[in-house]
């Protein structure tokens, strides 16, 4: 996760009560926080609410940020905890309605678009089938694009644990997709 | 490397999280092992699928968040002595009152300029003048201890409203000191008088919470000047505008050069206010500032 420009200065200003400096941080990290929230909530509106709550908590608790971890890591933990609290009060799963969030590519044929939509739907279902620890680490790696080092820091895990958990999560996903007769694994089998 | 060891590292290989020597060993194994090769391809395909998976943010999460944060950071405070702006009728009344305070006669304008004691109108900015609570708070904070803003104007001094020390004829114009102590610069031009008869006391209308002027129409300046809360407001009655600057004085300085070209400016600076004061004075922008609370980081000045 790339740091916000002048991040230290913005945090320092925000700590003095400068809300607009905090606004710059919000704008930089809004998608990051939202993706994390979405990975937990699996629902756009709930993820939006969790994201808002997470940012507001971050604003209120900014004095607790000591700088010993990356700001993104700190933000992640707040978001994850906020999402887990919200999840404890509800029981949601991936909604079919969320499947088509991705904006279709203009270069796709209608058939390609339909296949991609279907693949996305299957992948989301598979992701939802994982337990939360595995889902969390897959989201951070595959959607947020965080390095192993960043994930290790964010989740407070040893590097070896990050590698092994990710490996197990991917194995599980492939297994689920095979069971769903997903086109990814089907394609490979056809090519044999 | 055996298949068991390789399988554990295939994900890291696909993620680019292996060392060069590990990478070489893994690729070498994959080239000779169909099972591991297939598994590696599966992982790569899965990554490709994930790269297409992205939930798009609809709407403005940041805007929604900041609205709540601003409401929390800058809550509206009800002040006992509001000067709310609305309505043309109220604006006209304010103009009339201000003109009464000016009270110079046409024949002796210049003499009056030099000899008249400053008349001041005590007011505090209203919440409604500004388009967001941040602005409101910036202004109201600096008045929280009852400090008054003074309009340097010509006319008879009214002891019940003025918070000035007496301004004598041909008095040296004091500069703002480092602490931002009160600075008064008399207007360099004679004020126009609409009325001959000055009022003897602050009119109740100024204390009325019902008085409002229309909210200024100006929009925030664009981001290319890299200032926060940088806005020009054109007030209606007293020909003042307001600039809120939330940035360093080095960024403010070039913009202050334009202040004199604006028809009146009120400058609220969130920091380094003393330095800004010096810039305004050096640019010969007539200003009046007074009674900045001790330790306040904000300054509100009115330029004419």
* pLDDT for res A88: 83
Cβ distance A174 to B46 less than 8 Å, yes or no, reads yes
CB A55 within 8 A of CB A92: no
Percent of residues, chain A, with pLDDT higher than 90: 34
Give the C-alpha separation, B223 to A20, whole Å: 13
Q: Taking residues B236-258, what's their average pLDDT?
A: 41
CB B230 within 8 A of CB B243: yes
B47-104 pLDDT, tens digit per residue, is: 988 877 766 665 578 888 998 888 888 777 655 544 455 556 666 666 767 666 666 5
Q: Taking residues B98-119, what's their average pLDDT?
A: 50
* pLDDT for res A70: 87
Task: List CB contacts (< 8 A) between B36 and chain A.
Answer: none
Q: Which two tokens stand for residue B49?
A: 């699928």
Q: What letter would DSSP give residue B143?
A: T
How close B246 gets to chain A, by Cα (Å)?
A: 9
Q: What DSSP element (H or E) covers B184? A: strand B183-184
CB B16 within 8 A of CB B44: no
Q: Does the pLDDT at position B164 exceed 80? A: no
Q: Does the pLDDT at position B194 exceed 60? A: no
Q: What letter would DSSP give residue B197?
A: S
* pLDDT for res B159: 42
Q: Which two tokens stand for residue A57?
A: 């908590």
pTM: predicted TM-score of the whole model, two decimal places: 0.46
Q: Where are the alpha helices (DSSP H) in chain B?
A: 3-15, 20-32, 34-52, 61-73, 88-102, 109-115, 133-141, 204-207, 249-256, 273-282
B262-277 pLDDT, tens digit per residue, is: 334 444 444 444 555 5
Q: Give chain A's end-to-end CA distance (angstroms, integer).
A: 38
Higher pLDDT, A29 or B257: A29
**Rg of chain B in Å (alpha carbons):** 31
This model of the complex carries an ipTM of: 0.71
* pLDDT for res B115: 39
Q: Taking residues A155-161, what's their average pLDDT?
A: 91
* pLDDT for res B37: 94
Q: Which two tokens stand for residue B101?
A: 């305070």
* pLDDT for res A154: 86
Question: Which positions ≥6 away from B1 have C-beta within 8 Å?
Answer: B25, B26, B29
Higher pLDDT, B105 or B243: B105
Q: Does the pLDDT at position A135 exceed 50? A: yes
β-bridge mates for residue B239, sequence order: none
Task: List CB contacts (< 8 A) between A23 and chain B.
Answer: 62, 66, 69
Q: What count of other Cβ atoms lies within 10 Å of the Cβ of residue B261? A: 7
Number of residues in chain A:
192
Q: Which two tokens stand for residue B242?
A: 């307001």
The overall longest dimension of chain A from CA atoms, in Å, is 63
Higher pLDDT, A143 or A92: A143
pLDDT confidence of B40, banded at 50, 70, 90?
Answer: very high
> Among B129, B139, B77, which Cα is nearest to B293's?
B139
Nearest CA in chain A to B68: A56
Q: What DSSP element (H or E) covers A54? A: helix A44-60
Task: List CB contacts (< 8 A) between A143 and chain B.
Answer: 50, 53-54
Give the C-alpha separation, A146 to A140, whole Å: 6
* pLDDT for res B89: 60
Per-residue b or e along A98-123, where b marks 16 or more CB atoms closer than 10 Å to that residue's CB:
bbebbeeeeeeeeeeeeebbebbbbb
* pLDDT for res B214: 41
Give the C-alpha separation, A166 to A160, whole Å: 10
Higher pLDDT, B179 or A173: A173
Give the C-alpha separation, B74 to B132, whole Å: 9
* pLDDT for res A9: 92
Q: Does the pLDDT at position B295 exceed 70? A: no
Task: List CB contacts (< 8 A) between B46 and chain A.
Answer: 170, 173-174, 177, 184
CB B273 within 8 A of CB B246: no
Q: Taking residues A29-35, what's their average pLDDT?
A: 89
The CB-side HSE value for B45 (13 A sphere, CA atoms) comes to 21
Q: Taking residues A22-28, what's their average pLDDT?
A: 92
Cβ distance A19 to B15 less than 8 Å, yes or no, reads no
pLDDT confidence of A179, banded at 50, 70, 90?
Answer: confident
Nearest CA in chain B to A121: B53
Give the C-alpha separation, B55 to A39, whole Å: 10
Q: Taking residues B137-141, what's their average pLDDT?
A: 39
* pLDDT for res B75: 76
Q: Is B144 helix (H, G, I), strand (E, B) or coil?
A: coil
Q: Which two tokens stand for residue A35?
A: 């993706």
Tokens 């008249």 -> residue: B116
Cβ distance A163 to B11 less than 8 Å, yes or no, reads yes
Q: What DSSP element (H or E) covers B288? A: strand B287-289
Average pLDDT over chain B, rounded to whole?
55
Sign of CA dihedral A152, A158, A160, A166: negative
Which of B47, B52, B68 is facing A102, going by the closest CB pair?
B52
A63-77 pLDDT, tens digit per residue, is: 999 888 889 989 998
Cβ distance B50 to A174 less than 8 Å, yes or no, reads no
Q: Could you tell me if residue B102 is left (phi over 0), alpha (psi between -120 and 50 degrees) or otherwise beta? A: alpha
Q: Does the pLDDT at position B27 exceed 60? A: yes
Q: Which two tokens stand for residue A31?
A: 């998608």
The answer, for B295 touching chain A at a CB cutoff of 8 Å, is no
Give the C-alpha separation, A40 to A37, whole Å: 5
Q: Is B172 helix (H, G, I), strand (E, B) or coil?
A: coil
Cβ distance B12 to A163 less than 8 Å, yes or no, reads yes
Q: Does the pLDDT at position B217 exceed 50? A: no
CB B299 within 8 A of CB B187: no
Q: Which two tokens stand for residue A144?
A: 């947020």
CB B53 within 8 A of CB A143: yes
């Amino acid at each position: 996760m790339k740091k916000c420009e002048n991040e230290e200065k913005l945090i320092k200003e925000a700590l003095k009560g400068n809300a607009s400096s905090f606004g710059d941080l919000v704008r930089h990290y809004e998608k990051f926080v939202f993706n994390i929230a979405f990975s937990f909530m699996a629902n756009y509106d709930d993820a939006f609410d969790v994201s808002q709550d997470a940012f507001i908590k971050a604003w209120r608790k900014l004095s607790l940020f000591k700088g010993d971890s990356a700001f993104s890591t700190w933000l992640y933990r707040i978001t994850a905890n906020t999402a887990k609290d919200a999840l404890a009060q509800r029981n949601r799963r991936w909604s079919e309605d969320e499947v088509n969030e991705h904006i279709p590519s203009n270069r796709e044929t209608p058939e390609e678009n339909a296949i991609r939509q279907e693949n996305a739907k299957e992948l989301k279902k598979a992701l939802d089938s994982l337990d939360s620890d595995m889902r969390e680490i897959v989201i951070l790696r595959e959607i947020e694009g965080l390095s192993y080092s960043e994930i290790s820091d964010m989740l407070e895990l040893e590097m070896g644990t990050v590698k092994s958990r990710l490996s197990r999560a991917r194995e599980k996903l492939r297994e689920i997709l095979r069971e769903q007769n997903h086109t990814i694994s089907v394609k490979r089998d056809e090519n044999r | 490397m055996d298949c068991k060891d390789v399988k554990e590292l295939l994900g890291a290989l696909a993620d680019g999280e292996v060392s060069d020597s590990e990478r070489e060993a893994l690729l070498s194994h994959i080239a000779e092992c169909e099972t591991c090769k297939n598994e590696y391809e599966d992982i790569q395909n899965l990554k490709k699928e994930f790269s297409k998976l992205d939930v798009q943010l609809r709407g403005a999460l940041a805007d929604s968040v900041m609205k709540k944060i601003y409401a929390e950071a800058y809550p509206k405070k009800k002040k006992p002595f509001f000067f709310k702006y609305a309505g043309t009728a109220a604006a006209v009344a304010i103009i009339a009152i201000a003109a009464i305070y000016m009270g110079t006669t046409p024949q002796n304008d210049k003499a009056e300029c030099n000899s008249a004691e400053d008349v001041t109108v005590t007011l505090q900015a209203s919440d409604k003048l500004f388009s967001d609570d941040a602005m409101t708070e910036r202004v109201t904070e600096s008045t929280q201890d009852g400090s008054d803003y003074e309009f340097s104007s010509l006319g008879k001094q009214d002891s019940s409203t003025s918070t000035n020390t007496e301004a004598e004829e041909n008095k040296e114009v004091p500069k703002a000191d480092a602490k931002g102590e009160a600075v008064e610069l008399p207007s360099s031009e004679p004020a126009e008088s609409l009325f001959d008869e000055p009022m003897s006391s602050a009119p109740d209308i100024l204390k009325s919470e019902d008085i409002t002027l229309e909210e200024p129409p100006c929009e925030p300046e664009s981001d290319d000047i890299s200032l926060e809360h940088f806005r020009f407001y054109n007030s209606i009655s007293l020909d003042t505008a307001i600039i809120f600057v939330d940035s360093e004085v080095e960024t403010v300085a070039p913009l202050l050069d334009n202040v004199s070209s604006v028809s009146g400016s009120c400058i609220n600076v969130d920091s380094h206010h003393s330095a800004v004061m010096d810039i305004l004075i050096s640019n010969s922008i007539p200003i009046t500032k007074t009674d900045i609370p001790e330790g306040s980081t904000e300054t509100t000045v009115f330029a004419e």
